Chains A and B, each alone.
Chain A
Amino acid sequence: MKPKEKFDFFHDERVRSVFYQALIAAAVGWFVWSLVSNTAQNLEARGMHTGFGFLNVAAGFDSSFKLISNEAGVGTYGRIFFIGALNTLYVSALAIILSTMLGFFIGVMRLSSNWLVSKVALAYVEIFRNTPLLIQIIFWYIGVFSLLPRVKSSIDLSGGAEVLLLNNRGLYMPWPIPGDLLWLTGVAASIAVIAVVAFRRWAKNRQDKTGQTYPTFIVSAALLILLPGVVYFMTGMPLDWDIPKLEGFNFVGGASLPPSFMALLFALTIYHASYTAEMVRAGILSVNKGQHEAAKSLGLSNNRSMSLVIIPQAMPAIIPPMISNCMTTIKNSSLAIAIGYPDLVSLFMQTSLNQAGYAIELVCMTMAFYMVVSLIISWLMNIYNKRVQLVER
């Protein structure tokens, strides 16, 4: 006799699942509804306005550091949002590039066969990973970049040429002014790049077929330097430099970076380099030791076995954590608010919020910016992961 399948209403998995979900949906629905109704009531009681119309209203203040021009009382809040977003991305991008370079360097030091060098790298990593970033940022700002000499006695970083100057108002540097025929140099540079790509492809094909190698590095370097260089000199060096000049109490001309920017850049670079270093180390160690030995037994030199065998295999392990480290760098750049660098949070969530109100809109827009950036980054990461997986057998 077959056992009869009995439908037990209270102990059926599907019934329970529907019941729990209905419960969750009801709780969330009630929560959201009460938030919305409370907010509406509060907004009305306080006479606050809502809506995104304020973005077209002129803001009564200006950012102390900006990449696009703006004027207090003319530029709108929408423009302030863009200035802040650009400032955030600018400092984060520089910090990501520099911290990746420094991190690779420290990571390689960590794997050095020299005991002392690897211990120094370990000390670096432990010290900077175990202290709060905010303290480091404030330390660089108050303890280093604010204590620099005054404008009159600036430190000359270019060794007497007086073009790269550092003082307590920031870093002053020359800025290029393109001449009429500079576009020809640009065209030459692009032609050189295309030629290098074509040449490399040809050389690789040739190596695959015949086994003969070409000195690709020297040829491409020569192409990249010589072709634009020759055109540049032939057109009569159409590039001027705007050099900072001391006029009165301050420098005029050139480009400058404020101390808060420098402090933030230094702190972010040093802090995140310690994380990058550990990722690089873990990635290289994750490659099987046999791979190293096989490369050596093939007769590859240390450098070639590193660049042809080890690094390509370590990359899939290094890149994903590194990309999330980039995201953390962008998020951590919001600590700029503590030292007055006008990033998105400081300009939009603090100054604009104090000036204009519109708390909900401002907070949501700022958060949305970071969410969009993080979505783009995780999208890039997924593309990369797919590519790496395809390579695998």
Chain B
Amino acid sequence: MAIVKAVKTSALPAPLSETSVVGWMKKNLFNSVFNSLLTFVTLYIIFMVVKAVWVWGIADAVWVADNRRECFSINPDGACWAGIFAWVDNIFYGRYPREELWRINLGIFSLFIWLLPLWLPRVKAKISIGLTAVFLYPFLAGYLFAGGDKGIFMQIMFTAAIVCLAANTIHSIIGVLIGRSLPEFLPFLLGQKNVNEKNRRNIFLGVLALGFILVYVWQMNWNLEGVSWTKWGGLFLTFVVAGIGIASALPGGIILALGRRSEMPIARALSISIIELFRSVPLITVLFMATTMFPLFMPEGFVLNKLTQVIIAVCLFSACYMAETVRGGLQTIPRGQFEGGHTIGLGYWQTMGLIIMPQALKNMIPNIVGNFISLLKDTTLVSIIGLFDVLNMLRAIGKDRTWLGLHIEPLVFGAMMFFLICFAMSKYSRHLEVKLSTGHKH
């Protein structure tokens, strides 16, 4: 006799070992005698380390004091963060004139505004926004930071950068609000409904030209006070050097990588020798080469300042490292992609730009960002050849008379700062890799 159930039995809840905290702990922390022992030992070590750091860095730390002696008299065992607070402006801006700090802040803010649309999903023409940021932003920032008398070239580029930033911003606002691009929206604003592509472009260019003239006339009348590069310093200088290095690494690296894979023997030999030369020597020797040998290379009467020398060296160095990363990415692209590109009638540059590079770079995002991170970390080396970057500023705290001997806290602070930036960059690159992956990888 068969027993048939008419009603479906409801599933039992998952066993306690799978869902409860205790079950998880049993599985992951106490699954054997040895592992249990290991867990307790590790817990003890973590406890001791965290306790020591907590007591030194927070519980016993001195947050408000006028000098190091006062720190000592309040609590000799804790960290003296008061020194960091007193020097916070120096750490971030170096010896930049205090009344001109708004220029640095404005420069950083305008970069933020310029790049923000890249993260807004409804904004169109992101590639143009990115390209203008790479090619025009340096002039805006360069003039804001350095100031002085604008030459005719600088006047044109500075104006172009401002017009471009304004156009980008309006374009992005329109994009976010109604999902249109600026060239589409302009005729509508002028009361014309049905405008063809060509007229639309002409109207857009006309408005840009008008804006250019207005801004040009406006900026002719004033000049910012010149700030010599010797006054640049702190995290700001680190970001300037690293930023230029990062921005030039990718284009330089792509050119060198293409040269290395090219079928022209002279181009290949040249790329290989440049890449191998700079990759096999430490960055510090390249920096020394820049400061000692570049002056000899220059024609008479032509003097490069130290900052420019360092930036050239960092750019060469980072481009060579990037070249190998890009080459690694190019090697992951199957031959069929090149052949497919040629078959549909694309030339070398079109195949590279439209088919190969987008895939190669996408495959290499974590490595490219890894390169950026190591470049940012390596930028601290410029302190060795005497630029007042963030590390030199941090070390100067311990030499200041009021904070004499305060060495450890600034280093810990600097390490934390770099950790936050680099860690965030690497996490974001992982996120980007997942977001952009098209599922071709297995």
Contacts and interface: CB of A to CB of B under 8 A. Distances in A.
Contact of B411 (A117, A138, A370): A138
A363 B408 contact: no
A35 interface: yes
Interface of A: 17, 20-21, 24-25, 28, 34-35, 38-39, 41-43, 45, 112-117, 120, 126-127, 129-136, 138-139, 142-143, 327, 331-332, 334-335, 337-338, 345, 349-350, 353, 359-360, 363, 366-367, 370-371, 374-375
A38 B303 CA distance: 13
Interface of chain B, main secondary structure: helix
A28 B269 CA distance: 12
A370 B282 contact: yes
A130 B293 contact: no
Given A112-B38, A139-B411, A338-B383, 6 more contacts: A331-B281, A332-B282, A334-B285, A335-B284, A370-B285, A375-B280
Contact of A21 (B264, B284, B411): B264
B407 to A, nearest CB: 5
B423 A114 contact: no
Contacts of B384: 134, 335, 337-338
A376 to B, nearest CB: 11
A38 B299 CA distance: 5
A115 B29 contact: yes
* Range, interface on chain B: 35 or more
A182 to B, nearest CB: 40
B381 A134 contact: yes
Instruction: Identify the 7 closest CB pairs spanning chains A and B, nearest first.
Output: A374-B280, A115-B28, A130-B422, A331-B282, A132-B377, A334-B282, A359-B292
Contacts of B263: 17
Interface centre among A113, A138, A349, A366, by most chain B C-beta atoms within 10 angstroms, is A138
Contacts of B264: 17, 20-21, 24
B285 A131 contact: no
Interface string B409-436: 0011011001100110010000000000
Given A114-B29, A131-B377, A42 B281 contact: no
A129 B297 CA distance: 37
A331 B28 CA distance: 40
Contacts, number: 156
B378 interface: yes
Contacts of A136: 415
A34 B297 CA distance: 8
B39 A114 contact: yes
Given A132-B380, A370-B281, A139 B415 contact: yes
A329 to B, nearest CB: 11
B297 A371 contact: no
A367 B419 CA distance: 31
B305 interface: no
Given A21-B265, A116-B43, A375-B280, A143 B408 contact: yes
B415 A20 contact: no
A117 B34 CA distance: 12
B308 to A, nearest CB: 17
Nearest to B421: A130
17 contacts: A17-B264, A38-B299, A116-B39, A116-B42, A117-B39, A134-B391, A135-B414, A136-B415, A138-B391, A142-B411, A143-B408, A143-B411, A331-B283, A332-B282, A349-B285, A353-B292, A374-B279
B285 A360 contact: no
Interface in B1-51: 28-29, 31, 35, 38-39, 42-43, 45-46
Contacts of A337: 284, 384
A131 B300 contact: no
Contacts of A349: 285, 288
A74 to B, nearest CB: 27
B411 A359 contact: no
B189 interface: no
Contact of A45 (B277, B300, B414): B300
A28 B415 CA distance: 42
A120 B282 contact: no
A230 B299 CA distance: 73
A113 B31 contact: yes
Given A142-B407, A345-B285, A113 B35 contact: yes
Contacts of B38: 112, 114, 116-117
Given A35-B297, A115-B28, A132 B266 contact: no
B10 to A, nearest CB: 32
Contacts of A360: 293, 296
B28 A114 contact: yes
A36 B288 CA distance: 19
B415 A114 contact: no
B267 A130 contact: no
A334 B266 contact: no
A363 B395 contact: no
Contacts of A34: 299
Interface string B283-324: 111001100110111111000000000000000000000000
Contacts of B415: 131-132, 135-136, 139
